[in-house]
Amino acid sequence: MSIFIIAEVGINHNGDMTIAKKLIDVAKEAGADAVKFQKRTIDLVYTKEELDAKRESPWGTTNREQKMGLEFGKKEYDEIDRYCKEKGIEWFASPWDIESHRFLLGYNMKHNKVASALLTDMELLTAIAKEKKHTFISTGMSTMEEIEAAVDVFKKHGCSYELMHCNSTYPMTNDDEANLRVIETLKKHFGCNVGYSGHEVGLAVSYGAAALGISSLERHITINRAMYGSDQPASVEPAGFRMLVGVVRQIERAMGDGVKKVYPSEVPIRKKLRKK
C-alpha cells in the first residue's frame, strides 16, 4: 500500500486565492495525493473576548480581523473545488466546528480529517463519522484514553478511519519530541493503519516515519516560510516538498516485502564470489 501524501495548505494561503492556487500547483507537481485546507466558523470557534483582543496583522488590529482575513467562504471554496478538478488532484478540509462541517458537505470530497484540536469534540466527531467517509484522525496533544474515545465513535458508526501520529507543538516540533515510536504503539493498540502529521522543520523526521510503515503523511506547504502566518515556519517550501515526495516514494520501494531471497541480479555475483 502506497503512502497517501497530503499537502496541507491549511491557512497558509493568507486569504489570497492566487497563493492558494500556487500551493495547489506545488502539491500536484510534486506528486502529492491530495491537498488539504481548514474551515472555521469564526464566531463558533473563538470567544468574543478572544476575537476582540488586540493583534496586529495585515488585516487590522484585532484577532477578529486577522481570523476573518484568513478565512475562505463559499466563493473561494467553489473555486478551489473547480481548480483542483481542473488540475486532477483531490482536495478536502478539516472542519473546526459543526457549521463548517455542514458547509463542507456541499462538496463531493472523498476524505475527512479530524484536527488534533478537535479530537475530543464528540458532537463534531459523530457528525463526521455518520458521513462514513474514510477519515484521518490526528492525535496530537491527546492521551491514549482520549484517542480510544474518538475511535469508539468511528467504530460505532461503521466509518473507516486511520490515526495520524502528531506532536502539536507550535510553531514547530523539536526532533526529540517527535517520538516516532508512537506510530508502532498506535498500530499495536488500535490494530489500524497509522499515518504521520508533521510540524517539524526539515524532512528527516518524515523520512523516518515513512520507514516505519505509515499509511499516510501530511506536511504543511508554503511558498515561503518567511511569509506571515503561524504555520509558515514549520511548513515545507516547493523544492523541499518535491524532494519529500520523491524520497518517500524511494523509501517505499526500498522497504520491500520483508521476505529474504536471492535476487536474479545477485546470481552472477554469487557464482563468482562463492567458488567453493
Question: Taking all residues of the chain, what is their mean pLDDT, rounded to a whole number?
Answer: 96
Provide the pLDDT for residue 1: 78
Burial (CB count within 10 angstroms: exposed 0-12, middle 13-18, buried 19+), residue 256: exposed
User: Cβ–Cβ contacts within 10 Å for residue 212, how many?
Assistant: 17
- Residues 240-252 have a mean pLDDT of 97
Per-residue confidence (pLDDT) for residue 171, from 0 to 100? 77
pLDDT band at 172 (very low <50, low <70, confident <90, very high): confident
Each residue's pLDDT tens digit, 255-268: 999 999 999 999 99
Please state the pTM of the whole predicted model.
0.94
User: What are the domain boundaries of the chain?
Assistant: 4-273
**What digits encode the pLDDT tens for the residues 200-238?**
999 999 999 999 999 999 999 999 999 999 899 999 999
Ramachandran region, residue 91 (left: φ > 0; alpha: ψ -120 to 50; beta: rest): beta
Condensed to tens digits (0 to 9), the pLDDT of residues 78-129 reads 999 999 999 999 999 999 999 999 999 999 999 999 999 999 999 999 999 9
Question: What are the grid coordinates assigned to 209, written together?
Answer: 516515519
C-alpha to C-alpha distance for 270 and 267, rounded to whole angstroms: 5
Mean pLDDT of 231-251: 96
Tell me the backbone φ, ψ of residue 167, rounded to 5 degrees.
Answer: -115, 125
Classify strands 161-166 and 134-138 as parallel, antiparallel or unpaired: parallel
DSSP the chain: ---EEEEEEETTTTT-HHHHHHHHHHHHHHT-SEEEEEE--HHHHS-HHHHHSEEEETTEEEHHHHHHHH---HHHHHHHHHHHHHHT-EEEEEESSHHHHHHHTTS--SEEEE-GGGTT-HHHHHHHHHHT-EEEEE-TT--HHHHHHHHHHHHHTT--EEEEEE---SS-B-GGG--TTHHHHHHHHH-S-EEEEE-BSSSHHHHHHHHTT-SEEEEEB-S-TTSSSTTGGGSB-HHHHHHHHHHHHHHHHHH--S-----GGGHHHHHHH---
Is the confidence at residue 152, as pLDDT, over 70?
yes
| Mean pLDDT for the stretch of residues 26-55 | 97
CATH architecture of 4-273: Alpha-Beta Barrel (3.20)
The residues, any chain, with a CB within 8 Å of residue 118's CB and separated by 6 or more, are 94, 95, 96, 124, 125
Which pLDDT score is estimated for 276?
Answer: 64
Name the percent of the chain lying above pLDDT 90: 96
Cell of 86: 481542473
